[in-house]
A and B are shown apart, each in its own frame.
Chain A
Amino acid sequence: MTTQPVTLRRRRLHEIVSPLTIPLVTLLLFVLILLLAPASLPKLVTGIILPGLTLAALYFLIAAGLSLIFGLMDVLNFAHGSLFMVGAYIAWSCNVGLDPLYPNHWPVTIANSNARFVIGLLVGTLLGAGLGAVVEVLLIRPLYKRPIYQVLLTLGLVFVFDALVRSVPAWGSDSKAPIKPSLLAGSLEILGRRFPTYSLFLIVLGLTLAVAVALLLRRSRIGMTIRAGVQDSTMVEALGINVRRVFTGVFALGAGLAALGGAAAASFIGVYPEMGLEYQLFAFIVVVIGGLGSYSGAAIGALLIGLARTFSDHLVLELGLPTAIASASTVLVMAVVLLLKPGGVFGAKE
C-alpha cells in the first residue's frame, strides 16, 4: 500500500456531507420530477418504479462483480461489460440453436422453450465465469506488479471481445431480437395496467442474487476470507490462505454474475456488440456512486441509477425531449456525486 501524504487544508464539502444525503437528495429529485410531470399511481408503479427496478437488477449484476473484484485485488476490470455481452450471446445462441424450428439449429434440440431458456442461463453463466477465471490466470495475474498495465490490458480486452463477437459468423455486427421463454413471455396485471412478466423475473433474479451473494459474503467461510482480503490481503496471506486462489475465485464469481446478467438480459433487450460497454457505463456510474469496493454500495447505487434512468425517461418523454438525453442525464447524477463526495456514498477502502 502506498502511503498518502498529509497536508493541512480546510475541510472540503464532501467531508461534511453525510452518506445518507445522496439517496435523500435523489429521492427529492424524483419527487420534483413527479411535480413537474405528474403521473397517476398505476403509471408511477408500472411505468416508472418497476422498470427502474428491472434496470437496477441488471446494473447490480454487473456492478457487484466490478466492485468486489476491485475491492479484493485493486483491479478495475474494464472488460467486465464484455463478460456481460458474452453471457448474453451464449444464452441467445442456446435459445436459438436448441430450437428445432430454427433453420440452423444444432444437432441436439429441445422443444420446450423454458428448458432452452434455463439451459441458456446456466451455460452463459458457467462459460462467463470460466472465461473470467481464464482471463485472471492468463492475463491479469502476470501484471499484479504493474497495476497500470492491468488497466491498459483490460481495456484492450474490451476491443478484443468486441471484434471476436463480430467475427463469429452466427453472431455478426447486427443486433438480434430477444427470445422469451413461453412461461415468461406474457404480462401480468398490476393496478389495472399490464406489466411484462419477464421484467418481474429480472427483478426477482436481481434480488435473489443480491441476497445470495450477501449471505455468501457474510455467513460463509469463503465470504469471510474474501472480506478479510478486501481489508488486508497481505495479512490474510500471512495467515496461510492462498490469496491468489481466492482472487481467481472472486474474479470468476464476478464474471459469472455479469454473464448471468447478460444471459438474462438477452431475452429482454436482445443482443448486440455494443451492449457490453453500454451497460458497463451504467455499472461504472453505479460503483462511483456506491463507492468502489463496497458491495452494499453497489446495490444502493444500482437502485438509485435504475430509478434515475426511468424517472428521467419519464420527464424527457413528458417534456418532448430526445430520449438520448435521459441516458446522458445519469452521468450528470454521477458528476454531482463526484463533486459532493468523491469517495462515493459508502466510500470504502480510503
Chain B
Amino acid sequence: MGRLRPLLPLIMFGALAGLPFAFAEETTRFWQGVLIQIYILAVYALSYDLLMGYTGIISFGHALFLGGGAFTTAILLRQDNPPSVGVVVLAVLAVGLLLGAAVGALSLRLSGVYFSMITLALAEIAFILFRADDPTLKPITGGELGIQGVHVPPAIDPTTFRLRFYFLTLLFMAALYLVARRIVDSPTGRVFVAIRENEGRALALGYNTFVYKLVATMLSATLAALAGMMLVLYEKSATYELLSVGFTIQALLMTIIGGIGTLVGPMLGAATIRLLEHWLDSSAVRAVLPLWLRTDLLFGLIYVGLVLFFPAGIVGGINKLRGRRSRRTIDLLRQSVVPNGIDAQNNVK
C-alpha cells in the first residue's frame, strides 16, 4: 500500500473516468449529471480551502466570487452572437482576479471577524443588486428570474453531449486541483501557511503579509469564478441565488465536512454533500422524515453539529484512525483569528 501511495491520484482519476460506464444504461445519464455537479462543487470547495485552510482567512462572501464568474459567463453567452469559449474563460479569469483584488484590498485591511463581516456585507450588496426587480438593472441581471437560455457552444453542450461534458468537468477539476496543489507547495504557498500560523512572525521575517493575503484572495476568487462558469455552462442559467449566503455556507460545509487545509478533504466534502442531498431527497427517506424538516434545514443542523462536535472533518478523522496525530491545522486556525480583530499592521500605537 505504501508504494502505491504516489499513484493514488492517478488511480482515483482513472476510476472516476471509468465511473460513467459502470451504471446501467437508463440511469447513467442521471449519475453523470450528479458527478458533474460534484466536480464543479469540488473546485468551489478547493478555492475556499485555499483561503480558509491555508491562509487562515475566513471569507463569508465567497458566493460573490462564484456568482461573479457565473454571471459573467451568463451575460456573455446570452447574446445572440456569443463570443468563443476562449474569450469567456479570459473574461471569467479577469473578473475573478478583479473581484478578488477589489474585495481583498478593501477587507484585508482588517483581519479576523472584521474581514468576515465586510466580505459578508459585500456579497449581500451584490445579492441585493442582482435580485432587485428594477427596470434599469433587470435587463442586465435578470432580476428574480435570473438569466435563462444561455447559449452553450454546441460542441460542449451538456444536454446533447453529456459524456463529453462529464470528461470536460473531470479534467477541469483535476487540472485545478493540480494548480491548487502547486500553489500550496510553492514558496508563496509556504508564506500563506506562515501567515495562517503566525502572521506577526511572517511580518517580522520581512514578508509583506498584506500582499500575500491579497494574492491568496485573488487566486481563490479566480478558482471560484471558474467553478461558477462551469456551473452556468452545465445549468444553462444563472440566478441571484448563486450570490446568497446559502452558497457561502455550502463552501464552508464542504470544507469542514472534508477537513480544513487538506485540499482533498473539501473535494470529498463536496461529494459527500451532493450525495447526501440526493439521498435525503429520495422518496424512501422523504417518507420517513417529517414534512416540515426541509433538506436545507437538515443541512443547517448537520453543519452546526459538525462545527460543534466534529471539527476535523473526514480527512482529520481518517488520519486519527490511522493513528497519526491529527493535523494541528485546527489549533493553528484558532490562533489566526485574533479576538480584537484589528490587523497586526494597523494596531501599532
Binding site for B on A (CB under 8 A): 1-2, 4-7, 9, 12, 14, 70, 74, 76, 78, 139, 142-143, 145-149, 151-153, 155-160, 162-164, 166-169, 277-278, 281, 284-285, 288, 292, 321-325, 327-328, 331, 334-335, 338-339, 342-343, 347, 349-350
Contacts and interface: CB of A to CB of B under 8 A. Distances in A.
Please classify how large the interface on chain B is, using the bins under 10, 10 to 19, 20 to 34, 35 or more. Answer: 35 or more
Contacts of A162: 296, 300
Contact of B118 (A4, A14, A338): A338
Given A147-B337, A334-B118, 13 more contacts: A5-B201, A5-B204, A70-B113, A153-B304, A159-B245, A163-B296, A166-B296, A167-B294, A278-B128, A292-B341, A325-B129, A327-B125, A342-B114
Contacts of A2: 335, 338-339
Interface in B115-172: 116-118, 120-122, 124-125, 128-129, 132, 134-137
B176 interface: no
B245 A156 contact: no
A323 B109 CA distance: 29
B4 interface: no
From A149, A166, A278, A338, residue with most partner B Cβ within 10 Å: A149
B265 to A, nearest CB: 15
Contact of B132 (A169, A285, A324): A324
Nearest to B298: A163
Contacts of B248: 155
Contacts of B110: 338, 342
Interface string B335-346: 111111111111
A342 B204 contact: no
B292 A157 contact: no
Contacts of A14: 346
Contacts of B128: 278, 324, 327-328
B167 to A, nearest CB: 34
Contacts of B293: 167
Contacts of A322: 132, 134-137
A240 B274 CA distance: 51
A8 B134 CA distance: 50
A331 B339 contact: no
A281 B200 contact: no
B124 A156 contact: no
Name the residue among B113, B120, B204, B299 with the largest chain A CB count within 10 angstroms. Answer: B113
A164 B304 CA distance: 14
Given A328-B129, A339-B109, A153 B308 contact: yes
A155 B343 contact: no
Given A74-B339, A156-B249, A142 B60 contact: no
Nearest to A12: B346
A139 to B, nearest CB: 7
14 contacts: A2-B335, A4-B347, A5-B344, A142-B308, A149-B334, A151-B337, A152-B256, A156-B303, A156-B307, A159-B296, A163-B297, A277-B245, A328-B128, A338-B110
Contacts of A7: 203-204, 345, 348
Contact of A78 (B120, B135, B308, B344): B120
Contact of B134 (A12, A139, A278, A324): A324
A168 B294 CA distance: 10
Contacts of A145: 334
B33 interface: no
A115 to B, nearest CB: 31
Contacts of B120: 78, 155, 281, 284
B83 interface: no
List 3 A-B pairs, minimum CB-CB distance, nearest first.
Answer: A5-B200, A163-B297, A324-B132
Nearest to B304: A156
Given A74-B339, A159-B249, A163-B297, A151 B116 contact: yes
B92 to A, nearest CB: 23
B333 interface: yes
B246 to A, nearest CB: 7
Nearest to B201: A5
Nearest to B336: A148
B58 A4 contact: no
Contact of A350 (B256, B296, B308, B342): B342
Interface string B306-349: 01100100000000000000000010011111111111111111
B209 to A, nearest CB: 11
Contacts of A156: 249, 252, 300, 303-304, 307
Contacts of B134: 322-324
A288 B117 contact: yes
Contact of A148 (B60, B121, B337): B337
B17 interface: no
Given A167-B294, A292-B114, A322-B134, A4 B300 contact: no
B19 interface: no
B16 interface: no
A155 B249 contact: yes
A97 to B, nearest CB: 18
A2 B201 CA distance: 13
B276 interface: no
Contacts of A155: 60, 116, 120, 245, 248-249, 252
B339 A1 contact: yes
Contacts of B136: 321-322
